[in-house]
């Protein structure tokens, strides 16, 4: 590509509206332009990066065996009413009517539409498992669109949805997606960390987010360097006020309301022996009618012989995949619906069910500060303890006792969810089992914020001169800068020849033939983040040399003209 034929839309001045580096650099490098709040056009330079990222995502999705489809952005309200989310989703869902007064919504996510496809197209259990994905614009009327495409209102998401007969199959696809996400973000050059996450308005009972580490991130993640523990502190956001009532190291029973405070009590309520295995423990904060928060406790207990899992006193939602009825889910005013509103409870802790010594912690933040709370349950010590770890700093010991806890800001670039049968039950997406009985399909869903991930890459890869693209997603791999070609036929010839050779070799090259002042051309090319820069000027050509610069390190060297191709490839 010649710059004379390309749209170089670089800005010399810093745009005032940009509060983070990625937004500033995407505007300055001419990648994006705002059309309305949270709504952007991708210009040619940006589009080149976007297509590369899309290709990576597509390649990795295809490798898992997922099948690409394209669903509409405009979705009939009927489907959302069937799932129950039409009223629950809140003002982020953009609702409208067509000329015939039919109600519609702009898709913020596609569980309803894809579940409708599945119930029509999948007739037999033999067709399962199946995973469908798309890359498509979503619309969410975010309360605070900001940071450019990092929190847009219209943004590109890759969303995938899987359908299964049994949980083993879901587990496998979940793991395949988790691995594919790790490959996607690695190929994009992101430093990231998968963390346990809240399931928000999507629902489900088990979820991980992929967090790109960056100071500009809106999320805070806590991770231990001595165990696999990592979580988004958003998980227990509004739990925090509740913990005000618990002094550090207090017995859990001091703050627990209903439920059981000792293993013996739990066992008695369940009618099991107290040495039987506690499988799962979920702690909820609940909002009472008077507006105060209350910590409630739910224990799911069972052992290998007990096939069913029972709950003790459920003032909130149980584990949907295991046991909660749709009614329980719908009636719960805490965790799930709370996360849809501007404030409210947003926490959930799922404890590793396979461990017999259980320890886990909830992390929360509220408007006034940052809190970490550890809820520890040990089978050998028949009591719960709450450790109030508020105001912990990076480098405290990890609450699970293993290693050191670290806090980092993160940008959520992807999330994988085990959905269970939330949508398939509500929308009757069933297949027949071997006995001819209709069974709701078990679902998973998996999202990547494609456009946000690009901003995250820039947050991690830039310097004072501009973006430093990882090669795999750079708009061009090489830039050729010709110094005053109008004054030197030799400069022009060498540049043209190199340009032709690079193109022949399949290298994406931007040939700056603008005949501008060198400083102007350098500034643009470096701002745009092109990894390899070759400068052709009369002076060095006299010695048969051209200048080669690696954007990442800033290293410059003169190389013989004939070595140019070899150096870059
Ligand atoms: P957030 O917590 O940042 O609001 P989310 O949890 O609501 O994100 P998901 O429903 O998990 O988002 O959607 C899948 C992915 O889509 C997210 O992991 C994120 O990368 C991306 N995404 C979500 N909202 C936006 C947005 N407003 N702008 C850009 N990307 C977004
Ligand atoms: Mg959101
Ligand atoms: Mg989130
Ligand atoms: Mg999410």
Q: 66: cis peptide before it, omega within 30°?
A: no
CA distance 27 to 288: 46
Question: What's the pLDDT score for residue 477?
Answer: 97
What residues contact 526, with CB distance under 8 A and at least 6 apart? 465, 466, 533, 551
Per-residue model confidence (pLDDT) at position 201: 52
Ligand 1 atom 21: residue of nearest CA: 449
Strands 94-97 and 103-106, sheet pairing: antiparallel
CB 414 less than 6 A from any atom of ligand 1: yes
85 lines ligand 1 (CB under 6 A): no
Cα 552–558–562 angle (5° rounding)? 105
Q: What are 65's two structure tokens?
A: 């065996």
Number of H helices, E strands in the chain: 16, 29
Q: Please report the ipTM that was assigned to this predicted complex.
A: 0.99
Q: How far apart are CA 329 and CA 317, in angstroms?
A: 6
Residue 63: predicted pLDDT: 98
Query: How close is the Cα of 412 to the center of ligand 2, in Å?
Result: 10
DSSP, collapsed to helix, strand or coil, labels residue 203 as coil
pLDDT at residue 268 in the model: 56
Evaluate: CB of 516 within 6 angstroms of ligand 1.
no
Q: Answer whether residue 450 shows pLDDT above 90.
A: yes
What confidence score (pLDDT) does residue 393 get?
Answer: 67
Ligand 1 neighbour 410 (Cβ under 6 A): no
Ligand 1 proximity of 154 Cβ (cutoff 6 Å): no
What is the predicted pLDDT for the residue at 230?
76
Confidence of residue 217 (pLDDT cuts 50, 70, 90): very high
pLDDT, tens digit, for every residue of 517-529? 999 999 999 999 9
Ligand 1 and 138: CB distance under 6 A: no
Q: In the prediction, which pLDDT does 361 show?
A: 29
Structure tokens at 547: 């200048």
Asked if the model's pLDDT at residue 251 lies above 50, the reply is no
DSSP 462-488: EETTEE---GGG-S-SEEEEES-TTT-
Pocket test for ligand 1, best of 85, 449, 455 (most atoms within 8 A of CB): 449
- Of 27-36, 437-446, 485-494, 560-569, least confident by mean pLDDT is 560-569
pLDDT of residue 394: 81
Burial class (CB in 10 A: 0-12, 13-18, 19+), 380: exposed
How does residue 202 score in pLDDT terms, banded at 50, 70 and 90?
low
Question: Considering the chain, what is the average pLDDT of its residues?
Answer: 77
The proportion of the chain whose per-residue pLDDT surpasses 70, expressed as a percent, equals 69
Residue pair 476/229 in contact (Cβ under 8 Å)? The answer is no
Segment among 64-73, 164-173, 202-211, 265-274 with least mean pLDDT: 265-274
Q: What per-residue confidence (pLDDT) applies to 200?
A: 53
Hey, whose CA ends up nearest to atom 1 of ligand 1? 412
CA distance 171 to 168: 5
For the Cβ of 185 lying below 6 angstroms from any atom of ligand 1, the answer is: no
Place of tokens 């494609």: 450
- Per-residue pLDDT tens for 292-351? 433 333 333 333 232 233 333 333 333 322 333 444 433 433 222 222 111 122 233 333
At a CB cut-off of 8 Å and minimum separation 6, what does 147 contact?
Answer: 19, 20, 22, 23, 216, 218, 455
Q: What are the phi and psi torsion angles at 277 (to 5°)? A: -80, 130
For 81-117, write each residue's pLDDT tens digit. 999 999 888 899 999 999 999 999 999 999 999 999 9
Residue keyed to tokens 């498509």: 136
Confidence class for position 207, pLDDT limits 50, 70, 90: confident
- Beta-carbon count within 10 A of 437 CB: 9
* pLDDT value of residue 392: 55
User: Quick check: 285 pLDDT over 70?
Assistant: no
Q: 477-501: string of b/e by CB count within 10 Å (b at 16+)? A: bbbbbbbebeebeebbebbbebbee
- Span from the CA of 487 to the centroid of ligand 3 (angstroms): 56
Q: Report the residue among 199, 410, 447 best suited for mutation to probe ligand 1: largest number of ligand atoms under 8 A from its CB.
A: 447
pLDDT higher than 60, residue 164: yes
Please work out whether the CB of residue 22 comes within 6 Å of at least one atom of ligand 1. Answer: no
State mean pLDDT over 548-568. Answer: 94
Residue 284's pLDDT band (cuts 50, 70, 90): very low
Q: What is the pLDDT of residue 198?
A: 58
- At 225, the pLDDT band (50, 70, 90 cuts) reads confident
β-strand partners of 446: 160, 416
Res. 495 pLDDT band, cuts 50 70 90: very high
Angle, helices 450-460 vs 21-28, to 10°: value is: 100
Ligand 1 near 151 CB (within 6 A)? yes
Closest to 129 in 3D by CA, of 363, 415, 444, 564: 444
């Amino acid at each position: 590509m010649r710059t004379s034929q390309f749209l170089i839309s670089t800005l010399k001045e810093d745009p005032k509206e940009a509060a983070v580096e990625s937004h500033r650099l995407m505007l300055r490098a001419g990648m994006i332009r705002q059309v309305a709040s949270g709504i952007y056009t991708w210009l040619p330079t940006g589009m080149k990066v976007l297509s590369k990222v899309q290709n990576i995502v597509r390649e990795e999705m295809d490798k898992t065996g997922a099948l690409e489809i394209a669903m509409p952005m405009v979705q009939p309200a009927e489907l959302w009413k069937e799932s129950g989310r039409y009223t629950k989703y809140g003002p982020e869902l953009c609702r409208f009517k067509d000329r015939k007064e039919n109600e519609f919504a702009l898709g913020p996510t596609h569980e309803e539409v894809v579940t409708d496809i599945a119930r029509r197209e999948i007739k037999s259990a033999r067709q399962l498992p199946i995973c469908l994905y798309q890359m498509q614009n979503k619309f969410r009327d975010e309360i605070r669109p900001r940071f450019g495409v990092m929190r847009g209102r219209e943004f590109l998401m890759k969303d995938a949805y899987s359908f299964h007969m049994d949980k083993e199959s879901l587990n496998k696809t979940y793991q395949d997606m988790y691995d594919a996400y790790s490959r996607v973000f690695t190929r994009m050059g992101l430093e990231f960390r998968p963390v346990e996450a809240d399931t928000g308005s999507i629902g489900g009972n088990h979820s991980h987010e992929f967090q790109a580490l960056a100071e500009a991130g809106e999320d805070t993640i806590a991770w231990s360097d001595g165990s696999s523990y990592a979580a988004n502190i958003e998980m227990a956001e509004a739990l925090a006020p509740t913990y005000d009532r618990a002094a550090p190291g207090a017995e859990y029973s001091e703050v627990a309301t209903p439920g059981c405070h000792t293993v013996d009590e739990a066992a008695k309520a369940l009618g099991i022996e107290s040495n039987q295995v506690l499988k799962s423990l979920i702690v909820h904060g609940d909002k009472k009618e008077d507006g105060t928060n209350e910590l409630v406790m739910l224990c799911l207990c069972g052992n290998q012989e007990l096939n069913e899992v029972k709950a003790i006193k459920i003032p909130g939602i149980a584990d949907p995949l295991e046991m909660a009825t749709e009614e329980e889910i719908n009636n719960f005013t805490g965790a799930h619906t709370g996360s849809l509103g501007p404030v409210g409870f947003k926490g959930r802790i799922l404890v590793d069910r396979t461990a017999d010594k259980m320890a886990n912690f909830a992390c929360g933040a509220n408007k006034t500060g940052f809190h970490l709370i550890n809820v520890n349950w040990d089978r050998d010590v028949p009591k719960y303890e709450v450790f109030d770890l508020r105001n912990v700093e990076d480098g405290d010991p990890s609450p699970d006792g293993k290693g050191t806890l670290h806090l980092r800001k993160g940008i959520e670039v992807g999330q994988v969810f085990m959905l269970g049968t939330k949508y398939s039950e509500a929308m009757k997406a069933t297949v027949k089992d071997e006995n001819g009985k209709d069974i709701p399909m078990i679902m998973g869903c998996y999202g990547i914020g494609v456009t946000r991930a690009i901003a995250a890459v820039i947050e991690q890869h830039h310097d004072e001169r501009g973006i430093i693209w990882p090669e795999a997603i750079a708009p061009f791999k090489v830039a050729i800068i010709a110094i005053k070609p109008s004054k030197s036929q030799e400069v022009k010839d060498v540049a043209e020849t190199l340009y032709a050779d690079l193109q022949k070799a399949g290298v994406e090259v931007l040939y700056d033939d603008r005949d501008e002042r060198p400083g102007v051309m350098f500034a643009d090319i470096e701002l745009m983040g092109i990894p390899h820069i070759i400068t052709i000027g009369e002076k060095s050509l006299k010695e048969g040399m051209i200048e080669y610069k690696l954007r990442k390190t800033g290293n410059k060297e003169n190389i013989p003209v004939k070595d140019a191709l070899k150096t870059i490839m």
